[in-house]
Amino acid sequence: MDKTILVVGSVALDSVETIHGKTARALGGSAVHFSLAASQFSPVQLVGVVGEDFPAEFRRFMKRRNICLKGMEVMPGKTFHWVGRYDRDYKNAETIATELNVFEQFKPKLSAEHRKCGVLFLANIDPDLQRQVLDQMEKPRLVAADTMNYWISLKKPSLLKLLKKVDMLFINEEEARQLTGEYNLIKAARLVMKMGPRGIVVKRGDAGAMMFFKDNILSIPAHPIEKVVDPTGAGDTFAGGFMGYLAAAPDWKNFNVIRRAMACGTVMSSFSVEDFSVKRVSALSKKDIDSRYGKYVDSLHVR
């Protein structure tokens, strides 16, 4: 069984301001946040693009975290740069600037090694690119994708074609409503499943997450955090913990396995918001993760 996860998505430099301070050109991007969480459970291969300004120290750091960067292309120009600010309640990020730079020309090309990976995660990028990546794969045993309101509005027909080919979809509650036109989340998730995916993970921020798989529904709370510093990448970190656990499991279709994967995603996401960028996740030990996971599942009786 191939436990290796191939993730295709953005690698970015983020400049973020919150009530607790700010950071400039810190390591970020959907593929990065996902990979750092997933690599705690399974080997990860990352496909993305950066500019010539991408710091060598960031590359060395990711390699030390069991993330293969053979697919991270370096192009002439600058790395994708996002500038944002959060208000006191962290509900919504105010985008101050989005500088796509080399990411605007991103055309994922998979190597022979990439195509053989057993698990594929299509991070939040253009659904046309997501389908192009999937078409290059050699029968992965598990395919999951993330999307956002922008693609639902701009490229819904292309997204619907993708959904016919994926096993899992990650989406937040407003996006689920936007995609289906149905306000009730349970009904919306059922409608999305009719579009193709066998499982739907609905991200609900500080309200937790819901999982829909076949006839099963699971709703779990977020892990309580006393001090939220920076929520950037929390959803991608959740997906990384979830997919990393599933990739390591012999039978990802077992709902008890999926329940534990939801707990792993929640725990990894709770760490990520405790500091700026990837600082908290990068400092985690297996003991840290196991300790918080144990306390969390004991409170939920997940085992």
Q: Are strands 209-213 and 5-8 parallel, antiparallel or unpaired?
A: unpaired
Helices 30-38 and 56-64 sit at what angle, rounded to 10 degrees? 30
Eight-class DSSP state of 302? -
- Joined together, the tokens standing for residue 85 give 């600010």
Q: What is the per-residue pLDDT across 273-286, written as a single tens digit (0 to 9) for each? A: 999 999 999 999 99
Residue 91 predicted with pLDDT over 90: no
Of the candidates 87, 21, 8, 83, which has an alpha carbon nearest to the alpha carbon of residue 49? Answer: 8
* C-alpha dihedral, 134 to 148 to 124 to 20, nearest 10°: -170
- Return the ∠ at Cα 244 (arms to 240 and 245), rounded to 5°: 125
pLDDT greater than 90 at residue 271: yes
Given a contact cutoff of 8 angstroms between Cβ atoms, the answer to whether 86 and 18 are in contact is yes
Prediction pTM value: 0.96
**Mean pLDDT throughout 28-48?**
97
Question: Checking DSSP bridges between strand 44-51 and strand 5-8, what pairing results, if any?
Answer: parallel
CB atoms within 10 A of CB 266: 25
pLDDT at site 88: 83
Task: Indicate the pairing of strand 119-122 with strand 142-146.
Answer: parallel
Question: Which H/E stretch holds residue 86?
Answer: strand 80-86
**Other CB atoms within 10 A of residue 10 CB:** 24
- Tens-digit pLDDT profile for residues 20-30: 999 999 999 99
Instruction: Report percent pLDDT > 90 for the chain.
Output: 92
Determine the pLDDT at residue 115.
Answer: 97
CATH fold of 5-300: UDP-N-acetylmuramoyl-L-alanine:D-glutamate ligase (3.40.1190)
What contacts 155, CB < 8 A, 6 or more positions away? 126, 127, 128
pLDDT of residue 126: 96
Q: Is the pLDDT of residue 270 over 80?
A: yes
pLDDT digits (tens, 9 = 90+) for 204-213: 988 999 999 9
What per-residue confidence (pLDDT) applies to 221? Answer: 96
Q: Is the pLDDT of residue 92 over 80?
A: no
pLDDT band at 1 (very low <50, low <70, confident <90, very high): low
- What's the pLDDT score for residue 273? 96
Instruction: Give residue limits of the domains in the chain.
Output: 5-300
Averaged pLDDT score across all residues of the chain: 95
Whether 200 shows a pLDDT value over 90: the answer reads yes
What integer is the mean pLDDT of 39-57? 97
Is 303 a residue whose pLDDT tops 70? no
Handedness of CA 226, 32, 42, 282 (dihedral sign): negative
- Band of pLDDT at residue 5, cut at 50, 70 and 90: very high
- At 302 the pLDDT is 54
